[in-house]
Structure 1
């Protein structure tokens, strides 16, 4: 599938980032990591996956599993922009009258599986992919992982099993934003050379700029990357993408802004105001 309407994708991604910023108040959310995953999720739902508001229970639909579940504001925002979720419901984030909170909940249509405990969904995704393979179905299965999540041994076990069963209908996408919680991945448990590690485990690997719709197009147009192998797409991204005042800040992984800060950041997102929020003016957990 080829998509050259990058301006429309960019406009949608901007609106999703607005939603994330607005959800970063009254209890907050994992803002930085959510912002890094926006372009990936917008592209997948807009241009690659057979998923829409009318086929959420169709057995022929594709499947997306958000293993790094703390990025769910990016998923909620995408759902809202593409009509899978009413936009007004985003205001219910963390309220007791709805199911929209810090991690995916299957009570929200379009969420395939609960996540939050890192390292679990690669195995769930490969189980679904194996079932589809056995049944002869052509559905695509995507699992989005965080780079820090790769410290979990279960992720690498899933890579081994997926290759053992030649699951070329499965794609693991790594949101490689270089951070886990409040530390750089390479300062805690180094992951590089990451592509070589996946290849050594038997996967077919591509590495791209995860904020480039053109590179996403080129990579995913080549799916499956190699027959009879797990597909792994490493997407290099920037934590906090779109907000220079919090980009690549180790202490900006969970943010709880007040209403005034939200308005400042919305202006910053649109390049209309140069603001720098200090640690004293931002609640960080």
Structure 2
């Protein structure tokens, strides 16, 4: 167990460094929401999911859906580090001719299963994939990350009803509960109230775990759920800008265009991460 968690934590550090470099090179982007999903991506790609970088469409792979598509830069870093495409490609993010558009596109990027970015749609697609696997008696698992601000979309709640009704035990959902969205805090825009109680009322098993607690996350999801178990939602109690104090302390860090000060501070953050 210790060796697995150590490898996951090292992957998380490398994802965070690569994502910062990727965004810094571009000069702008979705820093906050990319940082807050780093640990869950490290757990999934570092210790839980089945996949083959040389065969991205391997039929027996587990499927991943980044419903909050603006966190695409973190997903790209993860895929590059795991060998789906060269790491140098990260420096082409969101530029003309790139295979790495600002939001994930399954037709452009190796390892991306679902095109996302229109918030609310990813979870519905994940539900469809999970149902197809279940009806075909396949063992593929499906994992989906949704944003807490994304829960403002009614389509999410329609999907949750569908998932619970069909008892899609092969689908695990993560809510990036970083408590901020584009225009402010959740409470300021649409109060989420008690998410765990809401999901349980919708027919899910619900866990709340610190967003950077890789060991607890890993232990919660490493084993596939049994056929008669309810679908699982994991609420990741995260921080927008997680793992980078300069970003964490920003009031608004959803999308950041680099100032001279920001570039200096983020370069310092990268150096600190590389030294530790």
- Range with bigger deviation, 3-12 or 115-124: 3-12
2:21 match: 22
2:75 match: 75
Residue 213 of structure 1 and its aligned partner are, at CA, apart by 1.1
Q: Secondary structure at the match of 1:245?
A: helix
2:9 match: 10
Q: Secondary structure at the match of 1:5?
A: helix
TM (normalized to structure 2)? 0.91
2:98 match: 98
Residue 12 of structure 1 and its aligned partner are, at CA, apart by 1.8
- Range with bigger deviation, 219-228 or 157-166: 219-228
Q: Is the 8 A contact 2:246 2:265 kept in 1?
A: no
2:53 match: 53
TM (normalized to structure 1)? 0.89
Taking the TM superposition and a 5 Å limit, the aligned residue runs for 1:35-184 are: 35-106=35-106, 107-184=108-185
Q: CA RMSD in A?
A: 2.0
Separation in 1, partners of 2:163, 2:224: 16
| Uncovered stretches (5+) of structure 1, i.e. residues with no partner | 273-285
- Range with bigger deviation, 115-124 or 177-186: 177-186
| Uncovered stretches (5+) of structure 2, i.e. residues with no partner | none
Q: Secondary structure at the match of 1:235?
A: strand
* 1:23-47 alpha-carbon deviations (Å, 9 max, x no partner): 3243511001100000101110111
1:278 match: none
Q: Secondary structure at the match of 1:24?
A: helix
Residue 221 of structure 1 and its aligned partner are, at CA, apart by 3.3
- Range with bigger deviation, 243-252 or 139-148: 243-252
Give the number of the structure whose residues are more often helix, by fraction.
Answer: 2
Separation in 2, partners of 1:46, 1:155: 28
Aligned length: 271
Residue 248 of structure 1 and its aligned partner are, at CA, apart by 4.8
Residue 139 of structure 1 and its aligned partner are, at CA, apart by 0.5
Q: Secondary structure at the match of 1:85?
A: coil
- Range with bigger deviation, 183-192 or 259-268: 259-268
